[in-house]
Structure 1
Amino acid sequence: MPFKRYVEIGRVALVNYGPEYGKLVVITDIVDQNRAVVDRPDETRRVINFKRLALTDFKIDIQRMAKKKELTAALKTNDVFTKFQQTAWGKKLAARVSKSQTTDFERYKAAVAKSKRSKAVAASLAKLQKSAK
């Protein structure tokens, strides 16, 4: 299968380092071989290094250095952010965030439930093994 995630104008990327970690941005211009101008509807346009970006499969059709209004309209018509959250990558990130926001008591309840479940599985397995002999 050929490579399809090229650095190009309109490519949606995920910031993988820094204060904007986990946010989706759109490449609006390419500065040089190491940096690109990225934009997002609720943030300011800025230059970011390619090492801090993870390219996604999504691409929107925008012009180079598109205005905020055009970018917002293109994102809304393509519904990119919700499509990304429905992918396995988006679900994994959402699960990581939800797990990090759990309290001590919620983690305790999950551990107790896992322990009960594994004991029930072990008991039923022992019962099947005993009946198989």
Structure 2
Amino acid sequence: MTGAADRAQRLRLVPGRFAVEHLPAAVAPPNGWIAQVRAPEGLTVVREVVEHQSGDGAAGLWRALYGGDTAHGLDLPGMLAALLEPLAGAAVPVFVASTYHADLVLVPEADTERAVEALRAAGHTVD
């Protein structure tokens, strides 16, 4: 059994702002994507939002936290839960894309400061 200290992670706030989009008929993701998941109902894409793009309201923008610099094995239980539990406790919505090395946790841009505070209070380091 792993304790909370065993699940403490070093995260970094990824530069940029991101959109999470559902593309029902997409064959390929648009330029600038950092994560994609294909499901029967279509393609979900996380892409960086460039400042000059129009139609991206602040409510739809996300910031990304990633712990890839201190990767953990796939066989280590509770690593994602260790991030999501404090965020849920702080009422911060999330969208997650997992990689082989770590999890990319996106939070609404407006909730970034609250998310970072909740993660730090739970023992995580956020650069």
Shorter chain as denominator, the TM-score bin is under 0.3
- Which structure carries more helix by proportion? 1
Provide TM-score, normalisation by structure 1.
0.26
Provide TM-score, normalisation by structure 2.
0.27
Indicate the structure (1 or 2) with the bigger Cα radius of gyration: 1
Larger RCO, structures 1/2 (Cα 8 Å, 6+ apart): 2
